[in-house]
A and B are shown apart, each in its own frame.
Chain A
Amino acid sequence: MADDHSQSHSHDHGSELSEMDARVKALETILTEKGYVDPAALDQIVEAFETRIGPKNGARIVARAWVDLEFKRRLLADATAAANSLGYVSPVGSHLIAVENTPTVHNLVVCTLCSCYPWEVLGLPPVWYKSAPYRSRAVIEPRRVLAEFGMTLPSETEIRIWDSTAETRFLVIPMRPRDTEGWSEERLAELVTRDSMIGAGLARSAHQAAAK
């Protein structure tokens, strides 16, 4: 079991690392020599996802929704259009759908069939999101999965799982933490974690932010 589990992760050790290093380099050489890819374009794709395209985008969208109810209404109606209207997050493509956590409903996003994820607002998915344990269990025993993230919800809270089986993508709007009245959007965005926008966590509390 332990072996099966570690193999589902992308922590590649030993032979796979050296094997993959060599094989990937060879394939890039072939594609470059044949004129199919431009290595400079590959560099820039990697750089974009290591720097610009990440959960900060989603956090800014959520923070705006917390302070601007009209924006939240538009976000829930058409998240792609609402996100692009901000002008200060990198462009968001089609079919982004925002779902809102409330005191009675907690949303959690998964892709049981592969690892579909809203890259443009959250960046590339973490290993756990792509792992067999998460993909298999989120739809059948989500409370146990959430407990592994340190989250316990009241038993009467509805848990709503969104299985991303098409080209629609889901962004969870976590609940705004207490005692944050009057905070600026920038300060609020610092509370919005990646996991909270998947539903695998809550936004950080004002207390946690102060302790930082």
Chain B
Amino acid sequence: MTNSIHDMGGMHGFGPVEPEPNEPVFHERWEGRVFAMRRAMGFPGLWTIDGGRASIEALPPVEYLRSSYYRRWFLGLERQLVEHGLVGADEIAAGRSLRQGAALARKLTTAELDKALTRGEFARPTNQAPRFKVGDRVRTKNINPATHTRLPRYARAKTGIIEAVRGCHVFPDTAAIGKGESPQWLYTVVFTGRELWGDDADPQLKVSIEAFEPYLDPA
């Protein structure tokens, strides 16, 4: 899902930011279990990090807003487990396993824990030269795909400057929907506040996004 509630940049009305003094890592035990289950079930490689995000973005907007962060993770995990045939909806309803599990390519054990605690590598080799270089003016595309994308609404059809070339990376828009990694060059693109928000914006504001090459046209 792309134009859904998760794409929050620039929205009004959510109230003040309220930092919590001496905040614990997890507020409830179940939050830690959800966190760990998502890490463990990501390990067999059945879905990508982008597929995981897409499963959360697909929550109905009202459900998304009324759920805490780890509740969203939990609901997205349930959805993915059912979609990939690893767990039946009947088993979730019953609260127990009703049949033998599927074979996984690999299972996270305590011996391999370090692999689940360190970020993976998302850069990929390529024969293609990057289309843009540092300093180039670019315009983001006006795209509204019904599937996952990482180009936020507030930064579509806006003109910015390439500030850095970050390498060639897995492309979330295809990886999220099982269409492969389709690696693309990734850039830091910086916009002025006024370009994004109009003449009343803070004149000293600059905002950058990390933009994949297919999101960009020369300006």
Contacts and interface: CB of A to CB of B under 8 A. Distances in A.
A41 to B, nearest CB: 5
Nearest to B88: A30
B133 interface: no
B113 A44 contact: yes
Given A46-B36, A165-B150, A30 B96 contact: yes
Contact of A45 (B69, B91, B117, B119): B117
A13 to B, nearest CB: 10
Contacts of A141: 202
Contact of B9 (A24, A40, A135): A135
Interface stretch (A64-72, A150-158, A172-180, A184-192): A150-158
Contacts of A131: 14, 17-18
A141 to B, nearest CB: 8
Contacts of A4: 13-15, 65
B146 interface: no
Contact of A113 (B7, B17, B97): B7
B74 A93 contact: no
B41 interface: yes
Contacts of B60: none
B19 to A, nearest CB: 5
A23 B74 contact: yes
A181 interface: no
A145 interface: yes
A2 B154 CA distance: 25
A210 to B, nearest CB: 20
A163 interface: yes
Interface residues of B, number: 98
B34 to A, nearest CB: 6
A28 B40 CA distance: 11
Contacts of B13: 1, 4
B27 A34 contact: no
B216 to A, nearest CB: 13
A45 B209 contact: no
B211 A37 contact: no
A22 B29 CA distance: 11
A102 interface: no
Contact of B35 (A20, A46, A132): A46
A112 B197 CA distance: 15
A166 B12 contact: no
Contacts of A48: 113, 117
A95 B166 contact: yes
Which among B23, B26, B68, B197 has the greatest number of chain A C-beta atoms within 10 A? B68
Contacts of A183: none
A28 B206 contact: no
Contacts of A43: 36
Nearest to B44: A36
Nearest to B102: A34
A165 to B, nearest CB: 5
24 contacts: A11-B27, A24-B33, A27-B87, A29-B95, A30-B97, A34-B87, A35-B107, A37-B40, A38-B110, A45-B35, A49-B25, A50-B32, A91-B117, A92-B119, A120-B117, A126-B23, A128-B19, A132-B11, A133-B18, A160-B206, A165-B151, A165-B152, A166-B186, A167-B169
